[in-house]
Amino acid sequence: MIGAGCEVADDAGGCLVIDLAAIRANYAFVAGLVAPSPVAGVVKADAYGLGAVRVARVLAEEGCGDFFVAHLSEALHLKPSLPQDARLYVLNGLQPGAEARCAAAGVLPVLNSMEQAMAWRDLALAERRRLPALLQIDSGMSRLGLPPEDVARLAETPGFFDQVEIKLVMSHLACADAPEAAANGEQLARFERLAAMLPPLPRSFANSGGAFAAPKFHGGLVRPGLALYGANPVEDAPNPLARVVRLDARVIQIRTIPAGTGVGYGLTFTAPDVTRLATVSVGYADGWPRQLGGRGAAYFGDVRLPIVGRVSMDSMILDVTALTDGALKPGDAVELIGPHQSLEDVARDAGTITYEILTSLGRRYARTYLDEAQTTALEINA
Ligand SMILES: *Cc1c(COP(=O)(O)O)cnc(C)c1O
């Protein structure tokens, strides 16, 4: 559990606390769910905004040996922080011409198309060595991966599987957040039919949502991202994962306005009565969605403080009339994400998904990383 986020004196407008112990617990939870399938860590987009280097390090300590990022640039940045024997994969594959840089770094591309597969094979021939990679098949999402006709073409390409060492063949679910959806079973059937055209290889199919689906989806390597970061991968189900993120915003100014006074850009809110307002120093430049203007809230203790008017770039305005006068002062912190308001609540109010809330978390927050020992200390102080 995470204590209040702005306990440390600092000069930032908001405080982001990332509980690495909760990430450890979530990795162990997913590993237990899908055992004996091994579990990778998806740390693309800077580990969904939480810091790929820190996150990958704790995952490695928990026994994770396989890491996925989206771009080669992310892989090259992360590689030096991983244990020597960890495997690092680039989900989007490679841009034409990037193959030699990828191979030199010891990073494995996911080959998503005939072009990517042939370019990687050509490098293997040029370097006179067998180069490892993953192979992705499009089993029905139409995003990345070989389409069915190309799976057959690749299977018939002379020497390909001698020149390229395919470690895993993978695919990705379009409807993993609804584990019971018929589309998932259809994708699995298509994936298995297509993979059967290739030499026998371990298979990887499941993201976080897939980890919560039936064991037949788990295969040779499960690839969770979201679940590690504590957000619920399954829609409309209780969330069994440990909360990882706590976000607080600091109060800058408090005022009382008479009835009929307009608030914020565009004066989209007019106070119906005498209203006490608090301006807090988090805005859309911090990744706090502008869509939350007039819809979202912050919390002070158990009290919900609605966001009134539009969210500005660096601040937003809360209606704090529900608090007794003087209860909230400049410098105090209000909760944006925490025990009273989950990532799921924020995403719902903003009309988006938890992935977008996480990956948008701003760069200006004072960041604190907790791990086992410090978490305990905070709990004792709480
Ligand atoms: C992002 C991604 C994942 C992780 O997805 P989550 O839903 O965050 O678990 C797994 N596999 C692929 C191919 C991805 O692009």
Mark whether 265 is an active-site residue.
yes
User: Could you tell me which of 213, 207, 232 has the C-alpha nearest to residue 41?
Assistant: 207
- C-alpha 374 to ligand 1 mean position (Å): 30
Q: Where are the domains of the chain?
A: 20-229, 245-370
Spans of the chain, pLDDT less than 70: 1-5, 7-9, 373-382
State the pLDDT at residue 104: 98
Number of Cα atoms under 13 Å in the Cβ half of residue 287: 22
State the pLDDT at residue 8: 60
Protein residue closest via CA to atom 13 of ligand 1: 172
Token output for 92:
């989007």
Cα gap 182→185, rounded to integer Å:
6
Backbone conformation region of residue 252, classed left if phi is above 0, alpha if psi is from -120 to 50, else beta: alpha
- C-alpha 45 to ligand 1 mean position (Å): 11
Residue in 27, 44, 229, 284 annotated catalytic? 44
State the pLDDT at residue 180: 87
State the pLDDT at residue 380: 42
Residue 363 CB coordination number (10 Å): 11
Cβ of residue 204 lying under 6 Å from some atom of ligand 1: no
Instruction: Tell me which CATH homologous superfamily contains domain 245-370.
Output: Lyase, Ornithine Decarboxylase; Chain A, domain 1 (2.40.37.10)
- C-alpha 224 to ligand 1 mean position (Å): 6
State the pLDDT at residue 236: 87
User: Could you tell me which of 24, 26, 33, 28 has the C-alpha nearest to residue 213?
Assistant: 33
Token output for 234:
């399954």
Cβ of residue 26 lying under 6 Å from some atom of ligand 1: no
Prior bond of 306 cis (ω within 30°): no
Protein residue closest via CA to atom 6 of ligand 1: 225
Phi, psi of 228 (to 5 degrees): -65, -30
Cβ of residue 223 lying under 6 Å from some atom of ligand 1: yes
State the pLDDT at residue 24: 98
Say how far residue 217 (Cα) sits from the centre of its chain: 21
Cα gap 305→334, rounded to integer Å:
9
What's the 3-state SS for 112-181?
CCHHHHHHHHHHHHHHCCCEEEEEEECCCCCCCCECHHHHHHHHCCCCHHHHEEEEEEECCCCCCCCCCC
Protein residue closest via CA to atom 4 of ligand 1: 225
Token output for 309:
């008017």
The label of the residue with tokens 């495997």 reads 87
- C-alpha 311 to ligand 1 mean position (Å): 30
Class of the CATH-defined domain 20-229: alpha beta
Token output for 47:
């580990």
Cβ of residue 91 lying under 6 Å from some atom of ligand 1: yes
State the pLDDT at residue 373: 52
The atom number, within ligand 1, closest to the CA of 91 reads 13
Q: For strand 297-300 and strand 303-308, is the pairing parallel, antiparallel, or unpaired?
A: antiparallel
Q: For strand 87-90 and strand 108-111, is the pairing parallel, antiparallel, or unpaired?
A: parallel
Cβ of residue 222 lying under 6 Å from some atom of ligand 1: no
State the pLDDT at residue 5: 61
Q: Indicate the top mutation candidate among 27, 68, 92, 191 to test ligand 1's pocket, ranked by most ligand atoms within 8 A of CB.
A: 68
- C-alpha 4 to ligand 1 mean position (Å): 30
